């Protein structure tokens, strides 16, 4: 027996098991869409603030740091809620909240409320990504490795989709269109 062949068969069996499970497949689709919204939002957020509010580069870089800190805070705070309320409940609530705050900050015409909304969106994105990753992890317990590998691929694919469709929405409809697209994701 070739150990490499045995490992490949186990990996293929894992992928087959993940894709034959409807819940796991939909979790991966949801992961793709949530990352499309978040990475797309990150891609265009600073340009939005610079163009809409004539924000200086230095202030924009501080805002980006505040957004990163906000997402980190979200990741740190969500654990007890996931344990208390359940992965699925928290994932759905945080996805909905992130969508609303992401769409809102791109449609707000005042600087400080928009900055508050984008940082709030990032907190909920931290909630969202931790709870979605946790939900993904429980989908196919016997094949966690392939499931998490596919989840990482879904994250990357979502980022590409979000950046691309966000750019198209920006060209066609402006930043409010970007907000609608990312909110819909």
pLDDT tens sequence for the chain (185 residues):
445 555 566 778 888 888 898 999 999 998 899 888 888 888 899 999 999 999 999 999 999 999 999 999 999 999 888 889 988 899 999 999 998 999 899 999 999 999 999 999 999 999 998 999 888 888 888 888 888 889 999 999 999 999 999 999 999 999 988 888 888 88
- Cα–Cα distances in Å, from 130 out to 51, 63, 65, 168? 32, 22, 20, 29
- Asked if residues 70 and 123 have their Cβ atoms less than 8 Å apart, the reply is yes
Between CA 182 and CA 90 the distance in angstroms is: 20
Between CA 150 and CA 69 the distance in angstroms is: 27
Exposed (0-12), middle (13-18) or buried (19+): which is 58, by Cβ within 10 Å? exposed
């Amino acid at each position: 027996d070739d150990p490499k062949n045995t490992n490949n068969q186990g990996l293929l069996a894992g992928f087959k098991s993940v894709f034959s499970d409807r819940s796991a497949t939909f979790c991966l689709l949801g992961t793709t869409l949530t990352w499309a919204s978040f990475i797309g939002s990150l891609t265009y957020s600073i340009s939005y603030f610079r163009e809409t509010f004539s924000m200086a580069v230095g202030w924009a870089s501080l805002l980006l740091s505040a957004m990163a800190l906000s997402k980190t805070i979200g990741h740190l705070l969500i654990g007890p809620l996931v344990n208390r309320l359940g992965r699925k409940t928290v994932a759905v609530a945080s996805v909905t909240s992130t969508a609303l705050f992401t769409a809102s900050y791109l449609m707000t015409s005042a600087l400080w409320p928009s900055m508050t909304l984008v940082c709030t969106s990032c907190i909920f994105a931290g909630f969202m990504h931790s709870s979605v990753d946790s939900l993904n992890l429980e989908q196919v317990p016997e094949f966690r490795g392939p499931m998490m590998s596919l989840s990482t691929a879904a994250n990357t694919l979502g980022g590409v989709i979000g950046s691309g469709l966000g750019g198209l929405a920006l060209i066609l409809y402006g930043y409010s269109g970007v907000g609608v697209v990312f909110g819909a994701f």
